Amino acid sequence: MASLKINSIRLNETLQSTCTQWGALSTSTGMCRLTLSQEDKDVRDWLVSQCRELGCEVKVDQMGNIFAIRPGTATDKLPIAMGSHLDTQPAGGRYDGILGVQAALEVLRTLYENNIKTHCPIALVDWTNEEGARFPGAMMSSGVWSTKSSAPLETCWDLRDTEGVTMQEALEKISYLGPTPCDYRENSLECHFELHIEQGPILEREGKSVGVVTAVQGMKWFAVRVTGVEGHSGTTPMDSRSDALVTASRLISAVRDAASRTGLGVATVGVIKSDTSSQATIPAGVDFIIDVRCSTDDKVDALGAEIFKSFDAVIVEEKNATSYNITRTWGLPESIFHEICVSAVRRAALGEVAENQIMDIKSRAGHDSAWTSRVVPTSMIFVPSKDGVSHNPNEYTSPEHCALGAQVLLQAVLKYDDYAKTGAF
């Protein structure tokens, strides 16, 4: 099995051609393939047909997650999964998530054309709404499947996009509201591997080709509502204003300053909305969302506390009768990956490149594997991102690194399959 190779040309041609067909931005190499959109439906339909041609049984669950399962020789084993996502940010790239699903398909193709019989079934999984760009809440459907997320199935179904469409309606519209329960206890896996671009600069900076992912850092999102009083922009004196946008701007700066000052982690405000949005009106209501990420859960809590302490100081200094309210909207605890899966990835990588081309790494971005790790053995494979750029049309990973990642994925799956059969590598 160590000599078995994926088809690197086919992998990269498939990745590029499917991106060009379904979701490509007209002005760049970027992508807009929002979850459960027409573009997402089209690429899903294509993926399902490809997997069925390879002899896979395809199941779709209540959140639209696709499980394409190639049978193994054992009748009492659960599938070894290779999962990621096909949805993108509104102006994202061609590799985030997409590489993981296309590499999983290439693994299935390689096993099929070489007539390889594995002990365990082997599954490709396309997780729905990983990005959270259309329906708020990243890694949403893997979280529901794990049953460990704070947002259960019905809550997610009721979420609305900016056009007022609920997630349940969107699933029904594209015919991906499946009958399979979205619950690992009723549709379980033996383990879960995920190939992904790093989305950061570390591998490239260190001159490494493969990252053996050992953990995912913790993160929380907070919705902040700042309240003031509407007023006429021409007639209200400056010292009589209760300007919610002015206060919000200072609070947003305090988010950045707290993260920089403490060194505990990173904090970002990427969404802001003013109620009035009128040039002639003093804003009375502003909403924004804070994204806090740190290496441990304790640091996430500490940085959050420092940010909110800074907020109180801003309100005292402003003296403009504004106020704020905070609601925690989403969170992902720090995730430690399973030693057997991590070992399978490391051994697979060592079979493809020299040891000095491999490094252990903790993911700073959230991934579906973070949720799967709560309930099944899990690990990830990282390959370099050029200049550390992601969630951007300029996102790029070389064809050579894409192929290397897929090859490591193939061998990690086969090594875990041997372990499941014999109890040893």
Tokens 């490809």 correspond to: 50
> What's the CA gap between 240 and 231, in Å, rounded?
10
Q: What are the pLDDT digits (tens) for 330-344?
A: 899 999 999 999 999
Helix (H, G, I), strand (E, B) or coil at 9: helix
Tokens of 225: 């509502």
Could you tell me where the DSSP H helices lie in 114-229?
A: 140-146, 153-158, 167-173, 202-206
**Residue 425: predicted pLDDT:** 84
How far apart CA 392 and CA 89 sit, in angstroms, is 8
**Ranges of the chain whose pLDDT falls below 70:** none
Tokens of 249: 């701007």
Read off the tokens for 199.
């989305």
Q: What's the rounded Cα separation, in Å, for the pair 284 and 226?
A: 8
Gap between the Cα atoms of 334 and 338, Å rounded: 13
- What is the rounded CA–CA span in Å between residue 251 and residue 249? 5
Give the Cα separation of 268 and 407 in Å (integer). Answer: 35
Q: Which of 232, 247, 255, 252 is nearest to 321 (CA)?
A: 247
CB 176 within 8 A of CB 163: no
Distances (CA, A) of 361 to 30, 135, 199, 278, 319: 27, 30, 12, 47, 46
Bridging pattern class, strands 335-336 and 281-282: unpaired
Cα distance between residue 270 and residue 267, in whole Å: 10
| CA 11 – CA 95 distance, rounded (Å) | 12
- Contact criterion met (CB below 8 Å) for 234 and 281: no
Domains plus CATH for the chain?
8-216+334-422 (3.40.630.10), 218-332 (3.30.70.360)
Q: Where are the beta strands (DSSP E) in 113-183?
A: 122-126
Which residues have a Cβ under 8 Å from the Cβ of 101 and sit 6 or more positions away? 47, 83, 84, 85, 86, 124, 126
Q: Rounded CA gap, 66 and 97, in Å?
A: 14
Half-sphere exposure of 4 (CA within 13 A, CB side): 24
What residues pair up with 332 in beta bridges, in sequence order? 219
Model pLDDT, residue 277? 85
**Structure confidence by residue, pLDDT tens digits, 243-270:** 999 999 999 999 999 999 999 999 999 9
> What sections of 209-323 are H helices per DSSP?
244-262, 297-318
Give the span between the Cα atoms of 140 and 2, in whole angstroms: 36
Q: Kindly state the tokens that stand for 313.
A: 């100081």
What letter does residue 151 receive in the DSSP assignment?
S
- Tell me how far apart the alpha carbons of residues 382 and 360 are, in angstroms, rounded to a whole number: 10
Name the 3-class secondary structure at 251: helix
What gap in Å lies between CA 67 and CA 82, rounded to an integer? 10
Segment (H or E) for 41: helix 38-53
Express as a percent the part of the chain with pLDDT over 70.
100
Sign of the four-CA dihedral 24, 367, 356, 390: positive
For residue 95, list its beta bridge partners.
none
DSSP designation for 78: P
Question: In the chain, helix, strand, coil percent, each to 5?
Answer: 40, 25, 40
Q: How far apart are CA 287 and CA 224, in angstroms?
A: 6
